[in-house]
Amino acid sequence: MKDQALREKTIEISRLTLSRGLTIGTSGNVSARCEDGVSFLITPSGMDYDAIVPDDIVEVDIDTGGRTGRRVPSIETGLHRKIYMARPDVGAIVHVHPPLATGLAVARRPLPVIADMCALAFGGQVEVAEYGTSGSTELADNVVRALGSRNAVLMANHGSIGVGNDLDQALFIGDLLEKMCLTYYFATIAGGAVAITDEAINILKSGVGRTYGQPGEG
């Protein structure tokens, strides 16, 4: 089967969204750009993550939207497709409905850059995409617009999205966003969150002064 390893990795990551409490039941969806860059793989619609096998993963052509596979793909396939079209740098997308990020999205409040990690991982403030019903073209367009060149976005009255070079990175972003939302709520209770300055964000994003990690390991 084409892209067997990537199919298995897509299933592994979708199961982790469940076990980490980022979504429940059969909700949420995970996709990954294929090595050839022509298509992407996405989880099927409404299937138990524990029951999914590699053959249930649907392949979607990025240019045409044409689908290959025995299952109906996720309702948000069009949204994933539009992100891949707009962002050639994105290799994987994780969409979930975690309580804290979704709470912020319900309040329609963006997540400011409240920690260095937000600047480094998200690429700036995490914006809220305007509301659109699930599976609609309107939602896809709103999400692409609000995501911009960053790596995370909140979806009004719906959930969150993390994107990355690969599936591990996209899951990390989704996970980090949820935890940063918790930090934001605590900061609000503690007296009010204070965002770091644009100057600090620019320094962090430019890589100046980054000494974290081992030499040669980025």
The answer to whether 187 and 195 have CB atoms below 8 angstroms apart is no
- Site for Zn ion (CB under 5 A): how many residues? 1
CB within 8 Å of 110: residues ≥ 6 apart: 104, 125, 126, 127, 128, 154
Report the nearest approach of Zn ion to the CB of residue 139 (Å).
9
Q: Which C-beta is closer to Zn ion: that of 73 or that of 204?
A: 73
Rounded least distance, CB 16 to Zn ion, Å: 17
Task: For the chain, give percent helix, strand, coil, nearest 5.
Answer: 40, 15, 45
Instruction: In the chain, count H helices and then E strands.
Output: 7, 8
Question: What span, in angstroms and rounded, lies between the C-alpha atoms of 140 and 60?
Answer: 16
- Here's the x/- map for Zn ion, 68-107, by CB under 5 A: it reads as ----------------------------------------
Closer of 73 and 159 to Zn ion (Cβ)? 159
Our CB check for Zn ion shows the closer of 78 and 204 to be: 78
Q: What is the largest CA-CA distance in the chain?
A: 55
Residues 100-159 that bind Zn ion (CB under 5 A): 159
Please give the residue whose beta carbon sits closest to Zn ion in the complex.
Answer: 159
Q: How far is the CB of 187 from Zn ion (least distance, A)?
A: 27
Which residues between 156 and 195 bind Zn ion (CB under 5 A)? 159
Pairing of strands 152-155, 128-129: parallel
Q: How far apart are CA 49 and CA 26, in angstroms?
A: 7
Which CB, 159 or 174, lies closer to Zn ion? Answer: 159
Q: Assess whether 76 carries a catalytic annotation.
A: yes
Q: Least CB distance from residue 134 to Zn ion, whole Å?
A: 6
Instruction: Please give the radius of gyration of the chain, using alpha carbons only, rounded to the nearest integer.
Output: 17
Nearer to Zn ion, 39 or 74 (CB): 74
Contact between 120 and 126 under an 8 Å Cβ cutoff? The reply is: no
Work out how close the CB of 29 gets to Zn ion at its nearest, in angstroms, rounded to a whole number.
7
Q: Which among 8, 35, 59, 76 is annotated as catalytic?
A: 76
Cβ-Cβ contacts under 8 Å for 19 (sequence gap 6 or more): none
For Zn ion, the binding residues (CB under 5 A) are 159
Active-site residues: which are they?
Answer: 76
